[in-house]
Structure formats: structure tokens, C-alpha cells
Amino acid sequence: MPKLPTYDDVKGNVQDNVIWKSIFRPGSIYRKGYRDTSRDRALASMNNVLYHLHPVKVKRHGLKLTYTYCLGGLSFFMFILLTVTGIFLMFFYTPAAGAGTEVAYLNMREISASVTFGQLVRNLHRWGAHAMVFTVFLHMARVFYHGAYKPPREFNWVVGVILLVLTLLLSFTGYLLPWDQLALWAVTVGTNMMGFTPVFGDQVQFVLLGGMEIGPDTLLRWYVLHVLFIPFVTVIFLAVHFWRIRKDGGISGPL
């Protein structure tokens, strides 16, 4: 019987070829010859497109759980998770409503009843959305109590407030999509208020609803806002937010 290759043989063969080396740049922990040295640790963050959102080194106090409570990071994680689960739901959902063609609502029923993992993914999307609003709120509170908005971080706080508003809008536009009684009337409460905008009230409401009252046009409009427009704007502000953290000298503190 031929000798079986050992784990190290296999690992060596997998790692020591042109293709592997072309994928994992020097310093990657997956590349052959990674050593736990300062140089390779630095390269590990520099040579990876995701990790290099981070600086090579961070302040030691920022690592303590009780400094950030990971809240900004968790808000971002929620955003990613909502994007992934949201794309899944989009495969099974049509934003159409109106007498005789209650497709949106029927789609929701199907997602729960017959789509594989449909109910689970819908639950993840729903609870994830609530969780994101919550973590963003808490993140704002922790930033305030640390005085982390003080110069040079004033503007990043303003970007943060915009992100908070965008998060609320994302949640709120999504709330209408199931097109059930809960959705319709919760959203009615909100949009009625917007109708009281001074001077332009009626116009604001008309643009938001795509008509005089909530109907099939509102659903289509809010669907586009929810899956495309607001996420797009949010990603832009997230990019500015993260970039400014780096440019403002990394995380604030120590206190």
C-alpha cells in the first residue's frame, strides 16, 4: 500500500504553487512561509482588501471590549447580514398590490410556507433590522459618553447622525413591503405626519406615496427606495464614515 501523504505534505502542495501564490499575497496567513513576525503581521492587514480598512496597528485601549463594545462594527455586520438576507428575499418577492393582484402579500405567505429556508431568512431579516436600529442607537450613545465626537471627529459625528437617519428610513421603508394590515397602518401613521411639513406638506406626501394615499404605487416606490436607493446612499456614507475614522487618527481616546 502506498504511503498516505501527511497533512503537511498536502498543505505544502496546495500552498506551494503558482495559483495559490497569485491569490494570497505576501503576508497572508494562508501563504506558505507566514511567520508570526511584525513584518508579516503588518502585511497581513495591508495586503488584504477587507482587512486594510483597518490600520496596521491600533491603540491597545481600543481593543478592550468596554471601549467600543464593538457597536460600530456590529452595526456594520447587521448591515451586511441584511444585505445578504435581503437579496435572498428579493428572489421571491414582487412589489405588486391592488385589488385582484395582491402578489406582494401572497409572496410573503409563500416565503413562509414553501420557500426552503424562507421563513428563517425572513426572520433573520426582520430581527436583524430591529437589531441594527438598536446597535446604531447604542453606538451613538457610546460615542457621546466617550466624548469621541470632539475635534477632529466633529464631522464624523455628523456623518453618523446621517447614518442613523438612513438606518431608520431603511427600516421604515421595509416595514411596508409585507403589505399586511400591520405594515399598511404603521406606515400610515408615519406618512400622515410627514404631510404636516410646513408649506410643502401635500407635495412631500405626494412624492413619498406616489399618490394621495398609500396604494400600489407607494409599494413600488418604497420597494425601490428600500432595496436600491437608500442602501446605495448608506454605503456612500459608510465609506465616508470609515475613511474619516482613519483620517481622524483612528479610534478616539484613551479617556
Partner 1 sequence: MSDEVQIDQEVYDRLIGEGKSERIARAKAKAAAVRQAKVAEGASLGPKSPEDAAKALEAAKEKAGGGGGVATKTAAPAEAQAGGGRLTPEERSARVAASLGNGGNGGSMGVPTSSDHTHRLLALVPPAGIQQVQSKQMDKVYTWPHLLLVEFVALLAAGSLLLIAAFFLDAPLGSLANPNEVPAINKAPWYFMGLQELLAYFHPMVAGVTLPGVFVLLLMAAPYVDKNPSAKPENRKVANLAFTFFLTFWGLLVIIGSFLRGAGYAWVWPWVQGLGFTL
- Contacts with ligand HEM by CB under 6 A lie at 68, 71-73, 75-76, 79, 136, 139-140, 143, 146, 148-149, 153, 156-157, 160-161, 163-164, 167, 238, 241, 245, 251-252
Q: Among residues 1 and 60, whose Cβ is nearest to partner 1? A: 60
Nearer to ligand HEM, 31 or 241 (CB): 241
Binding part of the chain for partner 1, among 17-25, 103-111, 224-232, 233-241 by CB under 8 A, reads: 103-111
Please tell me the distance from the alpha carbon of residue 55 to that of residue 78, in angstroms, as a whole number. 22
- Contact range with partner 1 by CB under 8 A, out of 18-26, 62-70, 229-237, 238-246: 62-70
Please give the grid coordinates belonging to residue 165: 437617519
Residue with the CB atom nearest ligand HEM in the bound state = 160
Q: How far apart are the first and last CA of the chain?
A: 66
Q: How far is CA 168 from CA 1, 134, 161, 195, 246, in A?
A: 65, 10, 11, 18, 26
193 contact choice in ligand HEM, partner 1, none (CB below 5 to 8 Å, kind-dependent): partner 1
Q: What is the DSSP letter of 226?
A: I
State the nearest-atom distance from the C-beta of 114 to ligand HEM, in Å: 34
String of contacts with partner 1 for each residue 130-169, x by CB under 8 A: xx-x-------x--xxxxxxxx-xx--xx--x--xx--x-
Binder of partner 1 out of 42, 96, 220, 238 (CB under 8 A): 42
Residue 229: DSSP 8-state: I
Which is nearest to 85 in space by CA: 131, 47, 34, 35? Answer: 131
Q: Is 69 exposed, middle or buried (0-12, 13-18, 19+ CB in 10 A)?
A: middle
